[in-house]
């Protein structure tokens, strides 16, 4: 599904991602862990198209997407969430969801004039889809509330919903567990498993190893921009180099 081949990224003289390769198979839930500053978010930015790599290649379902813009990658089915979700605070949840729907005809002035019924039908279908996702995520009762009322964990769920509006085939999930209370964390884990059952692949950045162990079959460990180790969650937590990398930076 996703292949990263020998990707590096320099910022000025600093190489923050060094010759990293990884592969995520169709239908997998893979983890990406590493101490603070290891380069995980930068790697997500490279995969999602926020940055271009200095060298190397990125392939999605066999197609080279290395130089493609982020919105083109999204159209191909590559969705991503951010470490700190930033919904439109004054817009309702349903409006936030609808704003994330892709390629709506109603955005075109001419479509509104020439095919108003088709535009209206599409808007109805998107609204139904948005409501169904909000129900699935346990947010339906808040659908008409402004997003500013949401807790940190609910914001993570809304962001997942916004990504689902684009019908992704793979989702890059950035720290789904950060700042989330334990009850909501279980909901997030449950929903990710359910979405994965529908055939959607995940690559997840996460510091919470319990969450990683519950979700991920395979884990990649980055340290100082390099791929340090990969294996099952239990192999990862027992690996001396991985333990050293974490202890060396004082991270947990
Ligand atoms: N735009 C940028 N310009 C210069 N340096 C950057 C830029 N973005 C990231 N870096 C540096 O790259 C390194 C890796 O950062 P990155 O955010 O990718 O790490 P991370 O593994 O996601 O860390 P964390 O777990 O703390 O989120 C850091 O040293 C950071 O300061």
Beta-carbon contacts of 37 under 8 Å, excluding residues fewer than 6 positions away, are: 224, 249
How do residues 137-192 score in pLDDT, each as one tens digit?
Answer: 999 999 999 989 998 889 999 999 999 999 999 999 999 988 888 888 999 999 99
Quick check: 200 and 215 in contact, CB under 8 A? no
Domain 2-87+152-249 annotated CATH 3.30.70.340: no
8, 9, 11, 80: which to mutate for ligand 1, most atoms within 8 A of CB?
Answer: 11
Any idea where the domains of the chain sit in the sequence? 2-87+152-249, 92-149
C-alpha count within 13 angstroms, C-beta hemisphere, residue 142: 20
ipTM of the complex: 0.93
Quick check: 60 and 2 in contact, CB under 8 A? yes
Whose C-alpha lies nearest to ligand 1, atom 26? 36
Whose C-alpha lies nearest to ligand 1, atom 3? 11
How do residues 55-78 score in pLDDT, each as one tens digit?
Answer: 999 999 999 999 999 989 999 999
């Amino acid at each position: 599904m996703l292949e990263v081949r020998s990707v590096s990224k320099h910022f000025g003289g600093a190489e923050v991602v060094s010759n990293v390769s990884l592969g995520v198979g169709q239908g997998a839930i893979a983890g990406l862990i590493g101490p603070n500053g290891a380069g995980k978010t930068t790697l997500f930015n490279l995969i999602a198209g926020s940055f271009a790599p200095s060298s190397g290649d990125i392939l999605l379902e066999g197609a080279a997407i290395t130089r493609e813009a982020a919105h083109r990658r999204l159209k191909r089915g590559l969705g991503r969430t951010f470490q700190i979700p930033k919904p439109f605070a004054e817009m309702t949840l349903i409006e936030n969801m609808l704003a994330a729907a892709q390629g709506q005809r109603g955005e075109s002035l001419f479509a509104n004039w020439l095919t108003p019924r088709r535009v209206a039908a599409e808007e109805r279908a998107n609204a139904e889809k948005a409501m169904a996702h909000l129900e699935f995520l346990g947010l339906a009762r808040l659908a008409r509330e402004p997003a500013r009322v949401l807790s940190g964990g609910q914001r993570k769920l809304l962001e997942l919903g916004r990504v689902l509006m684009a019908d992704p085939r793979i989702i890059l999930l950035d720290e789904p567990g950060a700042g989330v209370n334990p009850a909501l964390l279980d909901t997030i884990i449950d929903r990710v498993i359910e979405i994965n059952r529908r055939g959607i692949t995940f690559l997840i950045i996460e510091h919470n190893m319990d969450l990683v162990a519950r979700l991920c079959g395979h884990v990649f460990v980055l340290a100082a921009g390099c791929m340090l180790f990969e294996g099952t969650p239990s192999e990862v937590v027992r690996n001396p180099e991985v333990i050293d990398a974490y202890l060396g930076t004082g991270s947990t």
